[in-house]
Amino acid sequence: MIKFENVSKRYPDGTVAVDSLELEIQQGEFFVIVGPSGCGKTTTLKLINRLIPLSDGTILINGRKISEYDIHELRWNIGYVLQQIALFPHMTIEENIAIVPEMKRWGRGKVKTRIHELMNMVGLDYETYANRKPSELSGGQQQRVGVIRALAADPEIVLMDEPFSALDPISREKLQDDMLDFKENLKKTTVFVTHDMNEALKLADRICIMKNGKIVQIGTPHELVTNP
Ligand code: ADP
Ligand code: ADP
């Protein structure tokens, strides 16, 4: 599904952020990349949706090089959740979530049904919250909206960059539980980045531990715990 073949990323200043990465992420897999700050996690995500160009190697999605995709086609199929809550402050919650489905020219009815369904899935009552502005929601609620916005247009792949790290421990735990529901119900191919090993162990189908741009260990949570 997502395949890295000998992928490296060198930034213009010479920093090698990702070093000869070989990786295969399966369809429907919840794949977690864990490692300390600066090990290359965010860079790895940004390479997948071509936010930054790679320096060496090849990334394939469904057997096709990402460089061969039309950039919009590529990004429309990849939902992206950022660490910082990144909702548009002047737009309502519903408008924020509707952005990508509307770009894809989904009809109004379909968009509305989808938003209803997703908001309810994460415990945000549609009637109460759809017309509010982001500033009228708590941090945890805003990040929930960030997550469902990335899922709204039913992308094939979801990339999540430490989506819960800015939240208080209670909200974080609730959102992790939501994630487990997503995982069960949606079975989306997900690449989730975190520096928190407990979060990785809780959520992952498979965990990849990165250090200095390289993979140092890869396996299921069970494998990592029983064979550290
Ligand atoms: P992580 O997400 O694991 O914290 P990053 O992928 O952000 O790691 O960064 C990996 C390495 O690349 C770090 O050494 C970081 O300082 C460096 N880096 C990240 N972005 C840039 C950039 N735009 N220019 C130069 N170096 C960068
Ligand atoms: P352009 O760069 O051509 O102006 P846009 O920025 O409007 O295109 O974005 C096109 C697609 O890329 C949209 O689906 C949008 O959601 C997605 N996109 C925009 N910014 C990001 C980002 N930082 N990370 C991931 N996807 C993004």
Strand order in the sheet with 189-194: 78-81, 157-161, 189-194, 30-34, 206-211, 214-219
More confident: 206 or 170: 206
Residue with tokens 């531990």: 209
CB 120 within 8 Å of CB 130 = no
List phi, psi (to 5°) of 193. Answer: -105, 135
Residue with tokens 């489905």: 101
202 lines ligand 2 (CB under 6 A): no
Whether the predicted pLDDT of 130 surpasses 80: yes
145 φψ region: left (φ > 0), alpha (ψ -120 to 50), beta (else) = alpha
Calculate mean pLDDT across residues 165-190: 88
Residues near 66 by Cβ (< 8 Å), separated by ≥ 6?
48, 50, 59, 60, 74
CA 75 to ligand 2 centroid distance, Å? 7
Name the percent of the chain lying above pLDDT 90: 76
Residue nearest to atom 16 of ligand 1 (CA): 38
ipTM of the complex: 0.73
DSSP per-residue codes, the chain: -EEEEEEEEE-TTS-EEEEEEEEEE-TT-EEEEE--TTSSHHHHHHHHTTSS--SEEEEEETTEEGGGS-HHHHHHTEEEE-SS----TTS-HHHHHHHHHHHTT--HHHHHHHHHHHHHHTT--HHHHTTS-GGGS-HHHHHHHHHHHHHTT--SEEEEESTTTTS-HHHHHHHHHHHHHHHHHH--EEEEEES-HHHHHHH-SEEEEEETTEEEEEE-HHHHHH--
Whether the predicted pLDDT of 49 surpasses 70: yes
Calculate mean pLDDT across residues 138-142: 90
The pLDDT of residue 11: 97
CA 17 to ligand 1 centroid distance, Å? 6
Calculate mean pLDDT across residues 172-193: 90
CA 45 to ligand 1 centroid distance, Å? 12
Question: At 104, is the pLDDT very low, low, confident or very high (cuts 50, 70, 90)?
Answer: confident
Token readout for 26 is 């399966």
Residue nearest to atom 4 of ligand 2 (CA): 72
pLDDT tens-digit series, residues 203-223: 999 999 999 999 999 999 999
Question: At 228, is the pLDDT very low, low, confident or very high (cuts 50, 70, 90)?
Answer: low
